[in-house]
Amino acid sequence: MPLPIERRWRDALLDALLPAPGSGLPAMAEVDRRAFWPRFDRTAPLHLRAGFRLATAVLAGLAPRLLGHRGTLAGLDAAARDDVVRRAAHAPVLSELVLVAKLVACFAYFDDPAVQAAARGPQAPGPESPRDSQHGAPGSAVSAASSANGDARREPSS
């Protein structure tokens, strides 16, 4: 279970990684992640949980100072957070931690049903399968005929 400071750093890091994707998708800061974290702590492999915890501590606690900002990621404005994430993504060692954080951020983001629905967009009818396009509408490809013993046989329609 993360300490309160780790939760603030974690939330600031995830909010910085997905500020506003656009196309009707909400920013990470607008997504309710409370149900995600207990499930992540129960089900994620130990190495992913440990890697994410390390990534959070380094990227949110140490990297801002290393990159010339005062304070932690949680204390910076949106532009400064973006600067830290962009520069860390191109720095040796830090770039690997950014990848771990992005992976977990995507898990947390797409765990939300509203985000899933927005990402899918309006549900349109799917394309016809190749079999349906060869034989017409579904169900008309074959006709069932009863045999003398009452079994249904499938015979191609002409």
> What does pTM read for this prediction?
0.73
pLDDT tens, residue by residue, 75-96 = 999 999 999 999 999 999 999 9
pLDDT tens, residue by residue, 94-120 = 999 999 999 999 999 999 998 998 888
Do the Cβ atoms of 55 and 98 come closer than 8 Å?
yes
Do the Cβ atoms of 10 and 2 come closer than 8 Å?
yes
Please give the structure tokens belonging to residue 80.
Answer: 């400064």
pLDDT tens, residue by residue, 28-87 = 999 999 999 999 999 999 999 999 999 999 999 999 999 999 999 999 999 999 999 999
Q: What's the DSSP call for residue 22?
A: B
Residues 6+ apart with CB under 8 A from 107: 36, 40
Do the Cβ atoms of 73 and 81 come closer than 8 Å?
yes
